[in-house]
Structure 1
């Protein structure tokens, strides 16, 4: 036990001395490991930060919010056919579906002109036609003024509720309530400004305008009411599967779908959104893993080469140690520790570099959340570098342990 501890201490000392004596060579040796670890830490940190931000956004929106929208298969789209949900579908669902707390209809953003003007300023933005229940379903709240009311919808008032980015881009006053803006040549009065949400994936979540559904329908005609999204929340304690089954039964009957026909609509939930995002992050991680694998393989070969050079340079030293009674296991452990120190040194530099790159990306990219490095990524990185040190340091260590002491002492 003492000899093993002594070998470990001496091996570590020799490794650090060798790294100091050949700093440039050691840096180049571990370059592959540094690049590999830095790559995986950067990718993981950025993706974890995005994942945390997505989860936060979904929590703010509410995990129980469901979007019901038309679904068109690829075959139907190639034939020029598109399925739709109508405003009549919404009215029927709202009256017949049980255990639903709030339900709202929204028009597709592209069905109405999105050019908005105020004074000399003109911008492009998302225009949403909806009802008063939208506020409860989406949980959007005003920081100034009020949201669209049922009375606005009933009387087809030309009023709008705007996002903070629209106010800033149009250079509206700090308190724009009562100001008029032009939507594709039609004048609307501002009744409220939403609380700021910020950006996500570079997408500005505050660049939108909300107007009463009936107002938009009267201006844009049937192309609004023929293709809508339906948003709803199940009542507290109600089963989402039961609510979806009831909606499915009603819509299939209304759309005259037989037993073999696929649904021409789909439910999009927070869980489904998370699953889709997780597939993306998994794919990115796998690609990064391939790059990291190649970099670590190159780094491992570099460690093995430098250790073989080290064995050659220290042949006489090995001969002297063996002549003084050092066992082959002692010599092998000494060189293994040196290879391990080189690998872990590269892993540590890669970890710090990757963390720094992730933080830099978070600062440079607008709307990008902060970098987050989980503990498992750090443990995995050091696990890989440890394995590299052992695997690629084993052959030089075995070679050193098998040197004949007499031949080693004669080596010039």
Structure 2
């Protein structure tokens, strides 16, 4: 009994493959829907995987334990012209009262400068911030040349700057720019260091910035701007970041006497939170794309079923001869099922190769995305889905072919 089953499967498989090669052009057209669907899956998944890896690596450079506290204003207050702010006193309070913080720094944007920096005839728009020496260790910024800010720079309000590598290129500064002077809002600043290149994150240049001493920027901004700061910190080793953030939150809420009904006027930003937000976005895109592609695969399966039904009609006499020569209904059923499955799997394999090629082209022209990576699960899923589509949509034609009466089939013209 078992031998007959294997024999039927073998005979059906051989006949199916011979039929596919005998009608190669039609077979290729039949699988077009499957090819397009699978190629789309592989392309989208590869791009999302590359993006996730690239962003993960970049966030790893920042460190998963870095926290930024920013003032937050809800839409209702903004419409009333109210803007919440964190003050330098808030920073000093957190620094002195919250245990478990390893390094902490305040930073402030240079509002009075605008965002234009000049060197000779060259100019560029960039982010200018004022901060302290501990900022280097909090955000992992290290000098490629020269040095970072020191406590003395801050105490003496020195007009010195530490620049990102993009600013170096945009201002056409010399290869070794330490000691050169750049113009910021009518004020001359001496370059004391250049940062290592960090690349882009979410398409934004992480090297387009200028850092000056906090006290210098604070004095130049004017008294009306002294409250608009961010606070960045890292916890000590072994300290639970969630509990530490809660301590900071309770301290600030207590200082401003917020009730249980009052919302926080500040928010915590972490690398993990950013990673999760990005992961949610990429997952949503992947799910939507998978839904669209799933419809495409089903359409491809319907195409296979229609072509197979036409094939049964065209090959009616051939089926009659096969049955007259001893082919059982099981062999005929197996032949058409295998034929549909092989067609779908062929479309899946070609779709995988095409998707990999398309993804490679995207990564070639958009290196910011990351490195090309096709997850193994995506390949197996594409092949499994293709094979399943072939079997499901091949059942009806296979049953129709297996039930043909050999006498009627031989009479068919």
Q: TM-score, normalised by structure 1?
A: 0.96
User: Where in structure 2 are there 5+ consecutive unaligned residues?
Assistant: none
3-state SS of the aligned residue for 2:368?
coil
What are the residue-to-residue correspondences of 1:1-40 with 2, within 5 Å? 1-40=2-41
1:316–1:411 contact (8 Å) kept in structure 2: yes
Q: Which residue matches 1:50?
A: 51
Q: Which whole-Å CA distance do the structure 2 matches of 1:367 and 1:222 have between them?
A: 41
Q: Which whole-Å CA distance do the structure 2 matches of 1:119 and 1:151 have between them?
A: 29
Q: Give the aligned length.
A: 412
Q: Which residue matches 1:367?
A: 368
Matched, 1:134 2:135: yes
The offset of 1:110, in angstroms, is: 6.1
Question: Structure 1: which 4+ aligned runs deviate by more than 6 Å?
Answer: none
Matched, 1:285 2:295: no
3-state SS of the aligned residue for 1:173?
coil
Q: Which residue matches 1:313?
A: 314
Q: Which whole-Å CA distance do the structure 2 matches of 1:367 and 1:117 have between them?
A: 28
3-state SS of the aligned residue for 2:130?
strand
Q: Which residue matches 1:63?
A: 64
Q: Which whole-Å CA distance do the structure 2 matches of 1:322 and 1:337 have between them?
A: 18
Moved more, 36-45 or 360-369: 360-369
Q: Which residue matches 1:200?
A: 201
Q: Which residue matches 1:274?
A: 275
Q: Which residue matches 2:349?
A: 348
3-state SS of the aligned residue for 1:367?
helix
Per-residue CA deviation, residues 132-187 of structure 1 (Å, 9 max, x unaligned), is: 11111011101100001111111111111111111111111110000111112211
The offset of 1:196, in angstroms, is: 0.9
1:47–1:281 contact (8 Å) kept in structure 2: yes
Q: Which residue matches 1:107?
A: 108
Per-residue CA deviation, residues 77-100 of structure 1 (Å, 9 max, x unaligned), is: 333322211111111111111110
Q: Which residue matches 1:190?
A: 191
Per-residue CA deviation, residues 245-276 of structure 1 (Å, 9 max, x unaligned), is: 22111111222311211111111122211211
Q: Which whole-Å CA distance do the structure 1 matches of 2:112 and 2:9 have between them?
A: 72
Does the C-alpha gap of structure 1 residues 222 and 284 become closer, same or farther in structure 2, counting only changes over 3 Å?
A: farther
Alignment RMSD: 1.6
Per-residue CA deviation, residues 19-66 of structure 1 (Å, 9 max, x unaligned), is: 333333222211111111111111111111111111111211111111
Q: Which residue matches 1:255?
A: 256
The offset of 1:366, in angstroms, is: 4.5
3-state SS of the aligned residue for 1:127?
strand
Q: Which whole-Å CA distance do the structure 2 matches of 1:332 and 1:109 have between them?
A: 77
Does the C-alpha gap of structure 1 residues 306 and 176 become closer, same or farther in structure 2, counting only changes over 3 Å?
A: same
Q: Which whole-Å CA distance do the structure 1 matches of 2:308 and 2:133 have between them?
A: 72
Q: TM-score, normalised by structure 2?
A: 0.96
3-state SS of the aligned residue for 1:102?
strand
User: Where in structure 1 are there 5+ consecutive unaligned residues?
Assistant: none
Matched, 1:154 2:155: yes
Q: Which whole-Å CA distance do the structure 2 matches of 1:109 and 1:377 have between them?
A: 48
Q: Which whole-Å CA distance do the structure 2 matches of 1:59 and 1:160 have between them?
A: 26
Per-residue CA deviation, residues 332-372 of structure 1 (Å, 9 max, x unaligned), is: 11101000111011111111111111111111024221121
